[in-house]
Amino acid sequence: MSVASEEPPAEGPDEAGEAEGESEADEETEPAPLNVLERHETGHWEIAGFAALLAIGAGVLFSQPALLLVAAVAVGLAAHRQAATQPSPALSMDRSFEPEEFDPGDVIEVETTIRNVGAETLADCRFVDLVPDELSVVEGSPRRATTLRPGQRCTITYAIRVRRGRHTFDGVYAILSNLAGTTEDEYHVGTATELDCVPTARPLQATVLRQLTTPYAGRLTTDKPGEGLEFHATREYRPGDALRRIDWNQYAATGELATLQFRTERSASVVLIADVRRASYVRSNPEDPHAADRVVEAVGRLFVTLLDNDHRAGIATFGPDYWLSPNDGSEHRNRGLEALGAEPALSPAVPEGQYPVRLRVRRLLRRLPEMTQVIICTPLIDEAPETAVQMLESAGHEVTLVSPDPTAMGTPGEIVTALERRRRIRAIHEFGVPVVDWPVGERLDVVIARTVAGWSG
Partner 1 sequence: MSEDAEPVGEPTARPPLPAGVAAVAGAVVATAAVATASIVAFGAAGLGAWVVIVGLVLGRARLVTAGTAVVFSGVLLAGILGAPPLPLLVGAIGTAVVYDAGHYALRLGTQLGRTGSTELVTLVHVGATVAVATGAGFAGYLVFELGAGNQPSSALIALLVAALLFVAALHSS
* Residues 278 to 307 in contact with partner 1, rule: CB under 8 A: 281-284, 286
Angle at 322 between CA 406 and CA 394, to 5 degrees: 75
* Conformational region of residue 267, where left means phi above 0, alpha means psi within -120 to 50, and beta covers everything else: beta
95, 115, 144, 333: which one binds partner 1 (CB under 8 A) = 144
Q: Measured in whole angstroms, how far is the alpha carbon of residue 17 from the centre of its chain?
A: 38
Count CB neighbours of 291 within 10 A: 28
77, 189, 195, 209: which one binds partner 1 (CB under 8 A) = 77
CB nearer to partner 1: pick between 86 and 284: 284
CB nearer to partner 1: pick between 146 and 267: 146
DSSP letters for 190-247: EEEEEEEE---PPPPS-----S---SSEEEEEEEEEEEEEEEEEEEE--TT--GGGB-
Number of residues near partner 1 (by CB under 8 A): 72
Distance separating alpha carbons of residues 213 and 218, to the nearest angstrom: 9
**Counting contacts by CB under 8 A, is residue 179 touching partner 1?**
yes
CB nearer to partner 1: pick between 265 and 275: 275
7, 38, 41, 352: which one binds partner 1 (CB under 8 A) = 7
Task: In angstroms, give the least distance from the CB of 167 to partner 1.
Answer: 11
The window from 26-34, 76-84, 269-277, 310-318 that contacts partner 1 (CB under 8 A) reads 76-84
1, 72, 119, 229: which one binds partner 1 (CB under 8 A) = 72
118, 150, 181, 228: which one binds partner 1 (CB under 8 A) = 181
CB nearer to partner 1: pick between 396 and 410: 410
Q: Are 214 and 191 in contact (CB under 8 A)?
A: no
The window from 63-71, 214-222, 297-305, 446-454 that contacts partner 1 (CB under 8 A) reads 63-71
Task: In angstroms, give the least distance from the CB of 284 to partner 1.
Answer: 8
Pick out residues in 344-373 that bind partner 1 (CB under 8 A).
350
Task: In angstroms, give the least distance from the CB of 143 to partner 1.
Answer: 4
**Counting contacts by CB under 8 A, is residue 401 touching partner 1?**
no
Pick out residues in 22-61 that bind partner 1 (CB under 8 A).
42, 44-45, 47, 49, 51-56, 58-60
2, 35, 82, 205: which one binds partner 1 (CB under 8 A) = 82
Helix axes 357-367, 384-394, angle to 10 degrees: 30
Q: Are 21 and 11 in contact (CB under 8 A)?
A: yes
Site string (107-136) toward partner 1, x via CB under 8 A:
----------------xxxx-x-xx-xxxx
DSSP letters for 120-182: S-EEEEEEEE---TTSEEEEE-SEEEEEE-TT-EEEEEEEEE--SEEEEEEEEEEEEE-TT--
The window from 177-185, 325-333, 352-360, 370-378 that contacts partner 1 (CB under 8 A) reads 177-185
CB nearer to partner 1: pick between 140 and 218: 140
| DSSP state, residue 45 | T
**Counting contacts by CB under 8 A, is residue 239 touching partner 1?**
no
- Nearest Cα to Cα of residue 417 among 383, 375, 440, 388: 383
Distance separating alpha carbons of residues 28 and 35, to the nearest angstrom: 19
Task: In angstroms, give the least distance from the CB of 409 to partner 1.
Answer: 15
18, 28, 102, 141: which one binds partner 1 (CB under 8 A) = 141
19, 25, 36, 73: which one binds partner 1 (CB under 8 A) = 73
**Counting contacts by CB under 8 A, is residue 394 touching partner 1?**
no
- Nearest Cα to Cα of residue 284 among 425, 409, 434: 409
CB nearer to partner 1: pick between 12 and 118: 12
Task: In angstroms, give the least distance from the CB of 138 to partner 1.
Answer: 8
**Counting contacts by CB under 8 A, is residue 8 touching partner 1?**
yes
Distance separating alpha carbons of residues 207 and 371, to the nearest angstrom: 18
Distance separating alpha carbons of residues 281 and 300, to the nearest angstrom: 18
34, 159, 175, 449: which one binds partner 1 (CB under 8 A) = 175
Q: Rg of the chain's alpha carbons, rounded to an integer? A: 34
Count CB neighbours of 239 within 10 A: 5
**Counting contacts by CB under 8 A, is residue 17 touching partner 1?**
no
Distance separating alpha carbons of residues 455 and 156, to the nearest angstrom: 56
Query: Please, which residues bridge with residue 372 across strands?
Result: 269
87, 89, 167, 173: which one binds partner 1 (CB under 8 A) = 173
CB nearer to partner 1: pick between 49 and 225: 49
CB nearer to partner 1: pick between 141 and 250: 141
| DSSP state, residue 183 | E
CB nearer to partner 1: pick between 135 and 361: 135
Q: Are 399 and 378 in contact (CB under 8 A)?
A: no
